[in-house]
Amino acid sequence: ISELKIFSSLNIKTLIKKFELQEVLIAIPSMSEDQKNKIIDKLKNYSVKVSSLPGINEIAKGKFKIEDR
């Protein structure tokens, strides 16, 4: 995605430390809620902001909100 690097969630701890991450984007809209929650639970141990892309069903049903940062 543009200049963003994409990594597996398997090495979260190492990646956060190595790149001094402040934000993590979960960019797999087709991922189940259970899978997303497992990743989010892992990230709770770190002071990073977590965002995720909505799935196509959420977009179609208007269940997401785009906000300016």
pLDDT, averaged across the chain: 82
Q: Is the pTM of the predicted complex or chain greater than 0.85?
A: no
| DSSP string for 14-68 | HHHHHHT-SEEEE--TTS-HHHHHHHHHHHTTS--EEEEPPPHHHHHTT------
pLDDT on residue 41: 92
| pLDDT tens by residue, 16-45 | 999 999 999 888 877 888 988 898 998 999
pLDDT on residue 22: 93
